[in-house]
Each structure stands twice: as C-alpha cells, then as structure tokens.
C-alpha cells in the first residue's frame, strides 16, 4: 500500500546509557518493509539530549524534508524527536508543510490516518492548555507582588520605571522649541528615542 513512498528513519540515543541506534532502526526497517516504503539512509543523533532542538541529524532531516526527498518519517517513539510538546508540534507542523507525515511505532501513532490526526489534535490541545496555565501563573504572581507592594509600600512596580519629572519637562520644552525626537534624545544623552516619543505621546493624549 506504500509502494512508491520514500520514508526516512530518525533515531536518537544517549551513549551515557549504553544505547544503540540499531535497536530503534530494526523495528523501523521492519515497518517500512511491511508497508513497501523505500527507506532512505537513517538520520541519527547519538549522545544528544532530546531537550536540544538543534541536533545535527534532526536538522539534516528537516532540510531534506524541505527538499522533498521523502514522504514519511518513521521513529521508534515520539520522544526520540523531542521532549517539549511545543517543539514536537512545531516540528510536526513544519514536516506537514513539506508534505511529510509521521509514524511513531511504540505509541502506535500514525498521522497518515484519521485516528492519528485526532491524536495530533489532542496534542495541540495539551500544548495550548500548558501555555494558558503558564500565563495564568504569571498573572497570579504579578497580582500577588502588586498587592504586597501596596500593603508594604516597598516601591515595587510592574513595567518600566518612571522617568524623572524634570526630564519629562525638558523633553517637552525641547519639543516645543521645534527639536525632533532624534535631536532631543541626542541632546539629553541619557534618554532613548522611544522614551522621548512616549513622553510626547502621553502629553498629547493628556492634553487632548
């Protein structure tokens, strides 16, 4: 059923644990043979953590996928590609853009099938939930710090520190004299063009 399809094998092992890529490649070769895929020479990364997204073998694989050298990617298990859900989804999405589908033997994930597509949707939902939880934790932490600052008067504030009032007045004075934002920043020396622009914009809004 897979005659004419070119497949790539990717294997990653930790040499510290005495692992051998052949243990992963054996099952990959069997599946490719059973489906009639033409299997290319494997892409391997040995002794490199799955947390490292810039692995030589994986980078060569993505580059060859972009060139259209294969249609299917087969791995022993999905954690061989990466440990981060976000990285995995980005990688799968990039491969999909190059018309490459993924098969993971251990998990039984075959993204060439409707069931596999449903599994991918679930992975995406998990990644989105992770991002939302992180965002909520950050918001909660900032709210707690703000409340503590108000109660203790410790001077903590979120965002950029306020510019001295005298500096704001000098910026507005120079602007009224017709100086450009670039000229004002250069003349004052200790204030950026973006800060000058913000001061002028705030004054314009407050005066409108």
Q: In this structure, what is the dihedral angle of CA atoms 128, 131, 136, 138, given to the nearest 10 degrees? A: -170
Q: Which of 14, 33, 135, 192 does the annotation list as catalytic?
A: 14
157/151 Cα distance (integer angstroms): 13
138/144 Cα distance (integer angstroms): 10
The yes-or-no answer on residue 135 being catalytic is: no
Name the helix (H) or strand (E) containing 99.
none
The tokens of 141 are what? Answer: 């932490």
The tokens of 88 are what? Answer: 């995995």
Other beta carbons within 10 Å of 174? 19
Three-class secondary structure of residue 6 per DSSP: strand
List the Cα angle 22/25/31 in 5-degree steps. Answer: 150
Question: Which alpha helices (H) appear in the chain, and where do they start and end?
Answer: 21-35, 56-66, 85-97, 114-152, 165-176, 181-188, 193-207
Name the helix (H) or strand (E) containing 69.
none
Q: Cite the active site residues.
A: 14
């Amino acid at each position: 059923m897979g005659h004419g399809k070119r497949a790539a094998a990717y294997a990653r092992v930790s040499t510290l644990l005495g692992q051998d890529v052949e243990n992963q490649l054996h099952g990959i070769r069997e599946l490719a043979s059973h489906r009639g895929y033409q299997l290319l020479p494997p892409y391997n990364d040995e002794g490199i953590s799955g947390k490292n997204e810039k692995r030589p073998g994986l980078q060569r694989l993505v580059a060859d996928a972009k060139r259209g050298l294969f249609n299917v990617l087969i791995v022993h298990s999905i954690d061989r590609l990466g440990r981060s859900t976000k990285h995995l989804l980005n990688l799968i999405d990039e491969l999909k853009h190059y018309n490459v589908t993924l098969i993971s033997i251990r998990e039984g994930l075959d993204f060439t099938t409707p069931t596999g597509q449903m599994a991918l949707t679930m992975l995406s939902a998990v990644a989105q939930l992770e991002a939302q939880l992180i965002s909520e934790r950050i918001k909660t932490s900032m709210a707690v710090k703000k409340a503590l600052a108000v109660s203790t008067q410790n001077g903590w504030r979120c965002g950029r520190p306020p510019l001295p009032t005298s500096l704001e007045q000098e910026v507005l004075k120079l602007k009224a004299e017709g100086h450009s934002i670039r000229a004002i920043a250069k003349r004052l020396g200790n204030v950026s063009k973006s800060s000058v622009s913000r001061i002028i914009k705030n004054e314009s809004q407050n005066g409108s």
